[in-house]
């Protein structure tokens, strides 16, 4: 009988990290997908219902995006200072209330107000929850689990776009039912995880991170080997992220912070080209039938790419960078060089999905590798602000380019330049962090 508590603790240690992963999947598949990935299905029916231009209604999404930019550092500070259960529960409630408010709105200003509510609630769930939780609960396979969770933004979007469209078409004001169903799903599915499952650290449950024991034994073995060799300067080739341990104020004064902030902005700006792939297909002779397929191919590429990138990053972060950005460059080249061949056009869109995946997989992994986990949420929130700002104007920028003569060729050419620049901006601070860690140790 005396072994029962030990056995119970052992089972909890084996199971609980995977419950954290499941929570991350729920966050991306439900609130993130419903609020962000499914926003477009409401644009036409709501604007037609109120007899207003689409720009008048979609203004709520601009307000939502701007509010997120403003509130991101606040969300990072709250997550760093207070219990994650409280912060993420409040965020989920605000996301649900935002959708509920939109289901009852009768004027554009009310939609704009709901956009503010969503903009306050979503940053913690959308940008910070998954990488923060995975970094806290895992020492091994961190990249894989971040990628797995983030893949469900695309999977959830593919599923709920279809369900939402059917609900919207069920009645003249079916969009109200759509927002109501989305609100109920967010609250009913997400809140049990934020209230009962989420814990900010394993230590809060007298557990340890997944893979911590293996990491500790490896470090002890390496230290013993170094001592036996009489060379105290020998260390493992890739220092653990937690040993970097910068505070937000220290990070803000480092060139690496601004390099990664620019990386985040460029890679997010490049991601927005996805929105113009259907228009590119429509502009090609006899390719109009593939406008839907080219978007689906890119979504499939980014969903699968997030998992693959996560796995590659567990072995080599530079390898993950090269795979994601190399895939994007290959995809652009295929779409430009073989516009009349549907198979290669779709393959190019799929490959472009790999660089699309970099926005939510590569960026948080780079931040952890360079700055560590000591003040992760505050640092990542500030870097992600640049990405959010880039996404706010990127669609307008690329739209203006696409409207020019040979606009799509110019757009794809600029995309390649952006991806090459992003590759160097990602590698340089990573190499600098390893060099600094080696010198310090």
Per-residue pLDDT tens digits for 286-296: 777 777 778 77
Q: Is residue 412 part of a domain?
A: yes
User: What's the total number of domains in the chain?
Assistant: 2
- Residue 233: pLDDT above 80? no
Q: What does the pLDDT read at residue 439?
A: 53
Q: Is residue 291 part of a domain?
A: yes
C-alpha 323/C-alpha 326 separation (Å) is: 5
User: Who wins on pLDDT, 323 or 39?
Assistant: 323
Per-residue pLDDT tens digits for 106-143: 999 999 999 999 999 999 999 889 989 998 899 888 88
Q: What is the CATH number of the domain that holds 102?
A: 1.20.1250.20
Give the range among 177-186, 199-208, 291-300, 417-426 with minimum mean pLDDT: 291-300
Per-residue pLDDT tens digits for 66-102: 898 899 889 989 988 889 999 999 999 999 999 999 9
Both 247 and 194 in one domain: the answer is no
What is 282-348 written as a DSSP string? HTSTT-GGGHHHHHHHHHHHHHHHHHHHHHHHHH-HHHHHHHHHHHHHHHHHHHHH-TT-HHHHHHH
C-alpha 249/C-alpha 122 separation (Å) is: 25
User: Who wins on pLDDT, 243 or 134?
Assistant: 134
Both 25 and 85 in one domain: the answer is yes
Give the range among 168-172, 280-284, 408-412 with minimum mean pLDDT: 280-284
* Residue environment code for 201-225, b if the CB has 16+ CB neighbours within 10 A, otherwise e: ebeeeebbbbbeeebeeeeeeeeee
C-alpha 378/C-alpha 392 separation (Å) is: 21
Both 287 and 425 in one domain: the answer is yes
The domain boundary residue, chosen from 180, 202, 224: 202
Q: Is residue 372 part of a domain?
A: yes
Query: What value does the mean pLDDT take over residues 261-274?
Result: 90
- Residue 21: pLDDT above 70? yes
Half-sphere exposure of 249 (CA within 13 A, CB side): 0
C-alpha 343/C-alpha 367 separation (Å) is: 37
Q: What does the pLDDT read at residue 240?
A: 41
Give the range among 188-192, 193-197, 232-236 with minimum mean pLDDT: 232-236
Q: What does the pLDDT read at residue 329?
A: 95
C-alpha 187/C-alpha 91 separation (Å) is: 10
Range of the domain at 304: 241-440
User: Who wins on pLDDT, 433 or 229?
Assistant: 433
| Structural contact between residues 236 and 218, judged by C-beta atoms closer than 8 angstroms | yes
Per-residue pLDDT tens digits for 391-406: 877 877 888 888 888 8
Per-residue pLDDT tens digits for 43-56: 888 988 999 888 78
C-alpha 413/C-alpha 409 separation (Å) is: 6
Query: What value does the mean pLDDT take over residues 172-189?
Result: 95
Both 185 and 269 in one domain: the answer is no
- Residue 217: pLDDT above 60? no
At 52 the three-state DSSP class reads coil
Per-residue pLDDT tens digits for 316-339: 889 999 999 999 999 999 999 888
Distances (CA, A) of 123 to 84, 90, 346, 380: 13, 12, 32, 11
- pLDDT cut 70: percent of the chain above it: 89
Both 43 and 173 in one domain: the answer is yes
Both 181 and 294 in one domain: the answer is no
Q: Is residue 235 part of a domain?
A: no
Both 249 and 163 in one domain: the answer is no
Give the range among 128-132, 156-160, 310-314 with minimum mean pLDDT: 156-160
What's the pLDDT band for 435 if we cut at 50, 70, 90? low
What is 193-251 written as a DSSP string? IIIII--SSGGGGT---BTHHHHHHHHHHHHHHHHHHT-TT---SS--GGGT---HHHH
Q: What does the pLDDT read at residue 245?
A: 72
What's the pLDDT band for 1 if we cut at 50, 70, 90? very low
Q: What does the pLDDT read at residue 174?
A: 92
What's the pLDDT band for 224 if we cut at 50, 70, 90? low
Both 181 and 268 in one domain: the answer is no
Q: What does the pLDDT read at residue 410?
A: 92
Both 258 and 382 in one domain: the answer is yes
Q: What does the pLDDT read at residue 416?
A: 95
At 169 the three-state DSSP class reads coil
Both 303 and 378 in one domain: the answer is yes
Q: Is residue 268 part of a domain?
A: yes
Q: What does the pLDDT read at residue 235?
A: 42
Q: What does the pLDDT read at residue 434?
A: 62
Q: What does the pLDDT read at residue 242?
A: 43
Q: Is residue 72 part of a domain?
A: yes
Both 112 and 254 in one domain: the answer is no
Both 197 and 245 in one domain: the answer is no
* Residue environment code for 384-393, b if the CB has 16+ CB neighbours within 10 A, otherwise e: bbbbbbbbbe
**What is the average pLDDT score of the chain?**
84
- pLDDT cut 90: percent of the chain above it: 37
pTM for this one? 0.79
Query: What value does the mean pLDDT take over residues 360-385?
Result: 86
Q: Is residue 127 part of a domain?
A: yes
Q: Is residue 257 part of a domain?
A: yes
- Residue 352: pLDDT above 50? yes
- Residue 237: pLDDT above 70? no
Rounded to 5°, the CA angle 334-339-341 comes to 90
| Structural contact between residues 154 and 296, judged by C-beta atoms closer than 8 angstroms | no
């Amino acid at each position: 009988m005396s072994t029962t508590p030990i056995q119970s603790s052992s089972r909890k240690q084996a199971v609980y990290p995977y419950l954290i992963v499941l929570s991350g999947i729920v966050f991306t598949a439900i609130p993130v997908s419903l609020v962000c990935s499914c926003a477009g299905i409401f644009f036409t029916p709501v604007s037609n219902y109120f007899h207003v231009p689409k720009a008048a209604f979609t203004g709520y999404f601009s307000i939502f995006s701007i509010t997120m930019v403003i509130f991101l550092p606040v969300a990072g500070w709250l997550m760093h200072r207070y219990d994650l259960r409280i912060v993420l529960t409040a965020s989920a409630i605000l996301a649900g209330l935002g959708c509920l408010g939109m289901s009852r709105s009768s004027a554009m200003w009310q939609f704009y107000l709901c956009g503010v509510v969503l903009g306050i609630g979503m940053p913690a769930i959308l940008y910070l929850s998954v990488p923060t939780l995975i970094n806290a609960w895992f020492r091994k396979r961190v990249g894989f689990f971040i990628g797995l969770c983030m893949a469900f933004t695309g999977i959830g979007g593919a599923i709920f776009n279809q369900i939402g469209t059917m609900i919207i078409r069920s009645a003249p004001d079916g969009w109200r039912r759509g927002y109501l169903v989305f609100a109920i799903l967010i609250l009913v599915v997400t809140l049990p995880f934020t209230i009962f499952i989420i814990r900010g650290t394993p230590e809060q449950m007298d557990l340890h991170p997944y893979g911590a024991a293996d990491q500790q034994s490896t470090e002890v073995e390496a230290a013993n080997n170094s001592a036996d060799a009489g060379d105290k300067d020998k260390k493992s080739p890739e220092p653990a992220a937690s040993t970097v341990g910068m505070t937000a104020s220290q990070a803000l004064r480092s060139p690496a912070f601004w390099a990664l902030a620019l990386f985040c902005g460029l890679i997010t700006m490049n991601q927005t080209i996805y929105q113009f792939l259907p228009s590119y297909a429509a502009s090609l002779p006899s390719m109009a039938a593939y406008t839907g397929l080219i978007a689906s191919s890119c979504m499939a590429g980014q969903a699968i790419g997030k998992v693959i990138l996560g796995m590659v990053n567990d072995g080599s972060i530079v390898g993950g960078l090269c795979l994601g950005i190399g895939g994007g460059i290959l995809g652009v080249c295929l779409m430009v060089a073989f516009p009349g061949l549907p198979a290669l056009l779709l393959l190019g869109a799929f490959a472009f999905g790999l660089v699309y995946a970099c926005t939510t997989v590569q960026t948080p992994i780079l931040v952890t590798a360079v700055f560590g986990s000591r003040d992760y949420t505050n640092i990542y929130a500030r870097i992600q602000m640049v990405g959010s700002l880039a996404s706010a104007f990127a669609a307008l920028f690329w739209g203006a380019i696409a409207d020019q003569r040979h606009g799509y060729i110019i757009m794809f050419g600029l995309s390649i330049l952006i991806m090459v620049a992003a590759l160097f901006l990602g590698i340089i601070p990573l190499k600098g962090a390893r060099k600094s860690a080696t010198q310090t140790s």
